[in-house]
Amino acid sequence: MIEDPSDSRDAHDAAFLERVAGPLRAPELLDETFEARLMEKVRLEGSLYRPASPTAGSTSWWRTERAVRVSPLRGLAVAAGLAGVIALSTLADDSRSGSESLAAAKSPAAMAAARSDTVHVVRFVFVDSRASTVEIVGDFNAWTRGVTRLERSAAPGVWSASVALPAGRHEYAFIINGSRWIADPRAPTTSDDFGTESTVIHVGPSQQSTT
């Protein structure tokens, strides 16, 4: 059997490391005076950095308070410099946020949202000389009676009301004397599944604002 030279080297290295590490792993035994001598050395070193004073005996040198004095003129200069840095940082942030806001406002999505949020005032007019009350119900007031009432105008039998509507398609109808449902005869009408007619109006920049 031929012995591998690398195995011999590994065994030799392991034996060498054991001889070196053995003493290092042994516990270090200190004599009884070690702690006293250490503290005496600390106190001696501290006295070299602490000025002699009647009241300095109870204060350790590493706990001595130190005051840094700055002339009033230099203090104002430092404060002004810090204020300038803060102001420049704030202006930079405001400028960046302002630019981002302006860019967002000019985006097509923002412009489309602004157009959709535009409110148009539509004037509804109904003519009936026999009516005592006229109100309007529609998808813009959840078809709720008593919410949007038309007012009697100076002309006999003419009732009118101005309603703010967003752009888009809306349906509505008039209720006369609290019970009679009438679709607007001057505009296109539609019917629901039960045959009830209502009027359709399209509100937008190109549409008429009066029905």
Per-position pLDDT tens, the chain of length 211: 565 666 777 787 778 777 777 776 667 677 778 788 878 887 777 666 555 555 555 444 445 555 555 555 555 555 555 555 555 555 555 555 555 555 555 566 655 555 556 789 999 999 999 999 999 999 999 999 999 999 999 999 999 999 999 999 999 999 999 999 999 988 889 988 888 999 999 998 655 444 5
Please state, in angstroms and rounded to a whole number, the distance separating the CA atoms of residues 9 and 17: 12
Backbone angles phi, psi at 44, to 5 degrees: -65, -45
Q: What CATH number is given to the structural domain containing 196?
A: 2.60.40.10
Tally Cβ neighbours within 10 Å of residue 151.
10
Which of 49, 84, 117 terminates a domain? The answer is 117
194 in a structural domain: yes
Range of the domain at 198: 118-203
Burial of 201 from C-beta contacts in 10 A (0-12 / 13-18 / 19+): buried
Same domain, 175 and 194: yes
Cα distance between the two ends of the chain: 113
Number of domains in the chain: 2
Same domain, 186 and 122: yes
